Amino acid sequence: MKTPDGLTGRELLITALQGAFFLAYPFVVYFGRARGAGAVLLVLCAALLLLRLRVAGPQLRGLLLQHAAVPVFIAAAVALDSHTLMMLLPALVSLYLLATFAWSLRHGPPMIERFARVIEDDLPPFTHSYCRKITWLWCLFFAGNALVVTLLTWAAPLRWWTLYTGLVFYVLLGLVGGAEFLFRKWWFRYFGDGPVDRILAALFPPQGTANGRRSLAYVERRRALAPR
């Protein structure tokens, strides 16, 4: 059964588990001993992975199996009763994302272009260079995050690590994502029909720049080619 948002109950459960895992991780590590904290997180992570494998198609299962490194890493921390390994996991995740995004830059298409094509199948050629540059931006973000987490793990009190991984990181993630969204709207002047896009279209009229006029021409071409 689907919700009004088009999600099944299982997909909602997966989303809730994923959110719970990432939000709880720093605080479970902070308040629990390595072995007990790791056991709790290992159960949550394993349940999330199994649920995703059950709903994923054959092509996605191979990608999800790559995420098995996370429960294996947590299991190693539990077996060794190591808080240090538990604290290094966010750095490992960032390094994995860095490798994935960097691989896409070398072999193409860039990861941001892949995300964009999920929303816009007929992605205009004039956006490809931008997608590549933003993929580089996220590579730098993930590399920086991995470095900060590693430094906090080895050279700072546990409460600093918890504050960064449990709050500051998400603030930075939101700021980078929000700034990129606003810059993209300002740069391309390509707007949808939603309320936020209507406000931004009034602030940044598409007719005012060459990129905006190019976006308008793209929209008109899409409308002309759409089936009647």
* pLDDT of residue 184 exceeding 90: yes
Please report whether residue 183 resides in a domain: yes
Please report whether residue 55 resides in a domain: yes
84: tokens are 């240090």
Q: Are residues 32 and 58 in the same domain?
A: yes
Rounded mean pLDDT, 151-169: 95
What is each CA distance from 33 to 18, 88, 93, 213, in whole angstroms? 22, 15, 21, 59
What is each CA distance from 18 to 14, 21, 23, 44, 175, in whole angstroms? 6, 5, 9, 9, 21
Of 58, 81, 104, the position where a domain reaches its end is 81
Condensed to tens digits (0 to 9), the pLDDT of residues 209-218 reads 998 899 888 8
Q: Are residues 144 and 109 in the same domain?
A: yes
- Lowest average pLDDT, out of 129-133, 184-188, 207-211, 218-222, goes to 218-222
Boundaries of domain holding 93: 83-188
* pLDDT of residue 141 exceeding 60: yes
* pLDDT of residue 123 exceeding 80: yes
Q: Are residues 94 and 58 in the same domain?
A: no
Q: Are residues 124 and 62 in the same domain?
A: no
Give the pLDDT score at 3.
41
Q: Are residues 24 and 98 in the same domain?
A: no
Please report whether residue 200 resides in a domain: no
- Give the total number of structural domains in the chain: 2
Q: Are residues 89 and 110 in the same domain?
A: yes
**Residue 164 DSSP code:** I
**Residue 81 DSSP code:** T
Cα gap 136→139, rounded to integer Å: 5
Q: Are residues 19 and 92 in the same domain?
A: no
Of 47, 81, 115, the position where a domain reaches its end is 81
Q: Are residues 68 and 93 in the same domain?
A: no
152: tokens are 């906090």
Q: Are residues 179 and 89 in the same domain?
A: yes
Q: Please state, rounded to an integer, the average pLDDT across all residues of the chain.
A: 83
Rounded mean pLDDT, 124-139: 93
Condensed to tens digits (0 to 9), the pLDDT of residues 30-65 reads 887 666 777 777 777 777 777 766 665 554 455 555
